[in-house]
Amino acid sequence: MRALFAAGILALSAALVAPDASAWCRTSTVRPAPGECSDMGTPLMWCSACVGLSVNVEGSLDIPLETVRTEAAAAAARWRDAPCPGELMDPPMFELRVIDDTRVFSGINHGGTNANAVWFNSLWRADALHRPGTIAITIVSFDRRTGEILDADVELNQNTDQNPNGFVFSTGMPAPDTADLPTILTHEFGHALGLGHSDQDRAVMWPTAGMGEQRITLNTDDAEGVCDIYALDRRPSAQCDPPGTTQRPELTCNDTPYGGFAPSADGGRAIGGCSVLPGSTGRSRPWMTALLAAGAIVASRRRWRLR
Ligand SMILES: [Zn+2]
């Protein structure tokens, strides 16, 4: 009898610790091993209530610039309107906004102006970030001490004669052998917001996408992820308080990129942790070394890679 009772307790315990359905992941100041979610470091987030994204005027070979802008705005709105679960029915308190076009590409300029660029990269040279078979990546620069995201740039691997392993992008009815731009932008904007990959294959943040596949509707897992960062009861966040804060500032919307908007590249943007060194001049502070978090979407046999 005692053994049966013990077995019952064990079964109940198992039920109580049933697998957590959440599969979303937040990126943090500590980069995880490939395919894993980091549980170390400080999670990344934007500290304003909004930020501006800019489409690079060089655009795409496949899609008119105006359509790229429209699709970027639509992808941003999907995250803005995510229904937060539970009692918090308000949408997330953060918005990506499409602002003026830019000529800026990826990187961050600590001494000057910036743009959060969305651009089609027709010279996808393989390196640690630009892996072959990748449809797109998002490069996120952040404050390593607080986890505040300072800049995010989305690169789409554009097929050209010079870049034959890149991808042809399409909009509207998903076309075979093309990457659905709305799907790819929605996924990459999840990274720009501070999300990593989900292990639910129905989630927008699932790391692969098929050619001709459209997956633009946030599922519950995606919504829980973005709401964990930006839901009403989490804003403003103590994580975003300047040093010595005694009264938390009101959350305000300022869509100007870090350091001011850059309509054109001035050569000062760099990728990675070497752009700011202790003792450097200008606005940067020694502790504000921007590191790099990259998320991508990749291709499997029939499903291509998202980062
Ligand atoms: Zn990704």
The β-bridge relationship of strands 149-157 and 134-143 is antiparallel
How far does the centroid of ligand 1 lie from the alpha carbon of residue 16, in Å? 32
Question: pLDDT for 217-273, tens place per residue?
Answer: 999 999 999 999 998 777 778 888 877 777 777 788 999 999 999 999 766 677 754
Side-chain half-sphere CA neighbours of 239 within 13 A: 23
Question: Residue 162: is it exposed, middle or buried by C-beta count within 10 angstroms (0-12/13-18/19+)?
Answer: exposed
Alpha helices, DSSP H, located in 45-173: 65-80
Distance 170 CA to ligand 1 centre (A): 19
Distance 118 CA to ligand 1 centre (A): 15
Asked if residues 92 and 227 have their Cβ atoms less than 8 Å apart, the reply is: yes
Angle, alpha carbons 39-196-30 (nearest 5°): 40
Ligand 1 centre to CA of 126 (Å) is 17
Higher pLDDT, 108 or 70: 70
Question: Which of 16-20, 69-73, 121-125, 301-305 bottoms out in mean pLDDT, i.e. has the lowest?
Answer: 16-20
Q: Nearest-5° angle of CA 201, CA 31, CA 259?
A: 105
Sign of CA dihedral 140, 147, 150, 190: positive
Cα of 188 from ligand 1 centre, angstroms? 6
**Cβ burial 185-205 (10 Å sphere, 16+ → b, else e):** bbbbbbbbbbbbbbebeebbb
Mean pLDDT of the chain: 81
Residue 176 predicted with pLDDT over 90 = no
Tens-place pLDDT, residues 211-231? 999 999 999 999 999 999 998
Question: Ligand 1 mean position to 116 CA, how many Å?
Answer: 17
pLDDT in the model for residue 100: 97
Residue 286: predicted pLDDT: 30
Cα(214)–Cα(258) distance, integer angstroms? 32
Query: What are the pLDDT digits (tens) for 30-55?
Result: 888 878 888 888 999 999 999 999 99
Token pair recorded at residue 140: 């996120």
| 174 residue type, one letter | P
For residue range 112-168, list pLDDT tens digits in order: 999 999 999 999 998 888 888 899 999 999 988 889 999 999 999 999 999 999 999
Question: 243 exposed, middle or buried (CB, 10 Å; 0-12, 13-18, 19+)?
Answer: exposed
**Residue pair 117/150 in contact by the 8 Å Cβ criterion:** no
In this prediction, residue 3 carries a pLDDT of 38
Q: Residue 202 C-alpha to ligand 1 middle, in angstroms?
A: 14
In the chain, how long is the greatest CA-to-CA distance?
A: 78
Of residues 1 and 136, more confidence is placed in: 136
Domains recognised in the chain with CATH numbers: 54-241+251-306 (3.40.390.10)
Q: Return the closest-CA partner of residue 151 out of 202, 109, 207, 199.
A: 109
**Going by DSSP bridges, is the β-strand pair 169-170/179-180 parallel, antiparallel, or unpaired?**
parallel
**How many angstroms does the Cα of residue 138 sit away from the middle of ligand 1?**
8
pLDDT of residue 2: 38
Q: What pLDDT does residue 21 have?
A: 58
